[in-house]
C-alpha cells in the first residue's frame, strides 16, 4: 500500500469492507491525501487523480525545481511529465515540461520557462470529459485544481486510457443492443452471458410485439391484397436502417462534442431534409424493382403500377420518419439524463417498425382504394 501512488491506494481502500478501512488508513503515511481522494466518486477527475505532484514556486530557479523532483522520488519517475508552479496559496500558475528543466540554464527562474496550463480540470468533472480534454489538447498529464484554482493533484494519460477503452466498449455494446460484459468475452460464464443478453433481447421483443398488433389491425387489407404482405419486411427494415444511421451519427457527434443539446433543432431540420432525399432514392429503387420484375414475371397483377406507387410513397414516409426518430432519440435520452448511446440500432428499429407498418398500410389504403382494397 505504501508503494502505491495515492490514487491507486484510495481505490483499494474504497474496495475494503467499511470495518477494515480505519485499520488500513492508520498505517498509511499519506493518510490525509488518500482520505481526500476517497471523497470523490471513482469515475470523477478526483477519483482518477493522484495527489503526488511536484510543485515549486514561480520564483524558484530551474536548479531548485530539479531538486524538488529529487525529493519527491517515492513514485515511479516514468509517469512524471510535468512540474507545476504555484504561488504562496498553492494556486496553479504554470506548467514546466520535465525535459525543459534539463534544457534550460540552472539559474533561470521557473517563471521564465513555464507555460500557461492549456487544460486543467476540477475534481468533480466526469472522467470521460477529462479523457476528451486530454485527447483534444494532446497532453500526457493534466493538473486538477479546485474552484479557487488551488492545485490538488494530477491525472496522467495512462489513468485515462483504461477509462476511454471501457467507455468505448460500453458504448459499442449498447449500440449492438446489449449490456456491457464485465470481463473478456471468452471468460464470462455462460449463464451470466445469457442473462446479460436476454434482458435487452426480451425488452426489444416485447416492443416488437406491437407489430403483431398493428398487423392484426390491417388483417383485412392483407386478406384482400396478399401482395401487400410481400413488401412488409422491405419497408420496415428500410425505416430501421435509416433510423439507425441517423442515431449513430448523432450519438457519435455528441460523444465527440461536435453536437450539443441546444443543436437539436439544427440537427432535426437537417435530418428531415436528408430523410426525404434518402426516402426518394430508396423509393425510386423500389419502384423500379417492382415494375421491372413485373415486366419480366408478371407476378404482381394488373395493378402493379399502383402497388409500385404505394411502395414508393411508403418508403419516403418510412425513411423520413425513421431518420427523424433516429436523430431525435439521442437528444431525448440525453435530455432525460440517460446515455444517448442507448439509442442502439435494434432499439431504433423496434421503435420505427410499428410506425412503418402504419405508414405503409395508410398509404396503401389511399392509393389502392377502389382497386385492390
Asked if 190 is part of the footprint of a second copy (rule: CB under 8 A), the reply reads yes
Q: Please give the angle made by the CA atoms of 144, 147 and 148, to the nearest 5 degrees.
A: 100
Query: Residues 110, 65: contact at Cβ < 8 Å?
Result: yes
**73 part of the interface to a second copy, by CB under 8 A:** yes
Using the minimum distance from each CB to a second copy, give the nearer residue, 28 or 351.
Answer: 351
Instruction: Work out how close the CB of 8 gets to a second copy at its nearest, in angstroms, rounded to a whole number.
Output: 12
- What b/e sequence results for 223-248 when a residue is b if at least 16 CB atoms lie within 10 Å of its CB, and e otherwise? eebebbeebbebbbbbbbbbbbbbbb
Site string for a second copy, 37-66 (x = CB under 8 A): -----------------------------x
Residue 90 interacts with a second copy (CB under 8 A)?
no
Footprint (CB under 8 A) of a second copy, residues 229-268: 229-234, 236-238, 240-242, 244-245, 247-253, 256, 258-259, 263, 266-267
Q: Which is nearer to a second copy, 31 or 207 (CB)?
A: 207
Q: Which is nearer to a second copy, 73 or 91 (CB)?
A: 73
70 is a contact residue toward a second copy (CB under 8 A):
yes
289 binds a second copy (CB under 8 A): yes
- Judge whether 15 and 27 are in contact, CB under 8 Å: no
Separation CA 272–CA 20 (nearest Å): 59
Binding segment toward a second copy, per CB under 8 A, in 19-27, 34-42, 130-138, 146-154: 130-138
| Contact predicate 136/117, CB 8 Å | no
Length, in residues, of the chain: 373
185 touches a second copy (CB under 8 A) = yes
Torsion on CA atoms 324, 205, 182, 243, rounded to nearest 10 = -10
Say if residues 13 and 24 touch (Cβ distance below 8 Å): yes
- Residues in 319-358 at the binding interface with a second copy, rule: CB under 8 A: 319, 344-346, 349-350, 353, 357
Amino acid at each position: 500500500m505504501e508503494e502505491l501512488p495515492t490514487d491507486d491506494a484510495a481505490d483499494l481502500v474504497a474496495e475494503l469492507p467499511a470495518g477494515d478501512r480505519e485499520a488500513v488508513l492508520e498505517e498509511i503515511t499519506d493518510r490525509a491525501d488518500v482520505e481526500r481522494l476517497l471523497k470523490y466518486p471513482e469515475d470523477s477527475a478526483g477519483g482518477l487523480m493522484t495527489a503526488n505532484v511536484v510543485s515549486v514556486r514561480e520564483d524558484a530557479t530551474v536548479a531548485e525545481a530539479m531538486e524538488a523532483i529529487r525529493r519527491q522520488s517515492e513514485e515511479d519517475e516514468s509517469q512524471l511529465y510535468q512540474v507545476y508552479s504555484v504561488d504562496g496559496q498553492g494556486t496553479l500558475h504554470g506548467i514546466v515540461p520535465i525535459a525543459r528543466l534539463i534544457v534550460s540554464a540552472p539559474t533561470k527562474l521557473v517563471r521564465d520557462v513555464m507555460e500557461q496550463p492549456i487544460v486543467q480540470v476540477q475534481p468533480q468533472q466526469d472522467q470521460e470529459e477529462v479523457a476528451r480534454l486530454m485527447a483534444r489538447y494532446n497532453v500526457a498529464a493534466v493538473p486538477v485544481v479546485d474552484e479557487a484554482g488551488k492545485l490538488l493533484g494530477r491525472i496522467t494519460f495512462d489513468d485515462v486510457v483504461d477509462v476511454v477503452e471501457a467507455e468505448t466498449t460500453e458504448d459499442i455494446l449498447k449500440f449492438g443492443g446489449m449490456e456491457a460484459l464485465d470481463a473478456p468475452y471468452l471468460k464470462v460464464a455462460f449463464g451470466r452471458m445469457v442473462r446479460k443478453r436476454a434482458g435487452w433481447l426480451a425488452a426489444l421483443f416485447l416492443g416488437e410485439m406491437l407489430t403483431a398488433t398493428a398487423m392484426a389491425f390491417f388483417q383485412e387489407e392483407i386478406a384482400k391484397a396478399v401482395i401487400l404482405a410481400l413488401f412488409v419486411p422491405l419497408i420496415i427494415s428500410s425505416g430501421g436502417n435509416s433510423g439507425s444511421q441517423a442515431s449513430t451519427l448523432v450519438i457519435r457527434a455528441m460523444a465527440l462534442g461536435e453536437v450539443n443539446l441546444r443543436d437539436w433543432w439544427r440537427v432535426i431540420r437537417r435530418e428531415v431534409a436528408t430523410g426525404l432525399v434518402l426516402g426518394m432514392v430508396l423509393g425510386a429503387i423500389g419502384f423500379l424493382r417492382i415494375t421491372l420484375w413485373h415486366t419480366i414475371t408478371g407476378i404482381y397483377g394488373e395493378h402493379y403500377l399502383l402497388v409500385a406507387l404505394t411502395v414508393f410513397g411508403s418508403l419516403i414516409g418510412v425513411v423520413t420518419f425513421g431518420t427523424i426518430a433516429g436523430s431525435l432519440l439521442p437528444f431525448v435520452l440525453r435530455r432525460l439524463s440517460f446515455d444517448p448511446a442507448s439509442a442502439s440500432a435494434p432499439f431504433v428499429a423496434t421503435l420505427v417498425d410499428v410506425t412503418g407498418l402504419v405508414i405503409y398500410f395508410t398509404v396503401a389504403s389511399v392509393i389502392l382504394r377502389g382497386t385492390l382494397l
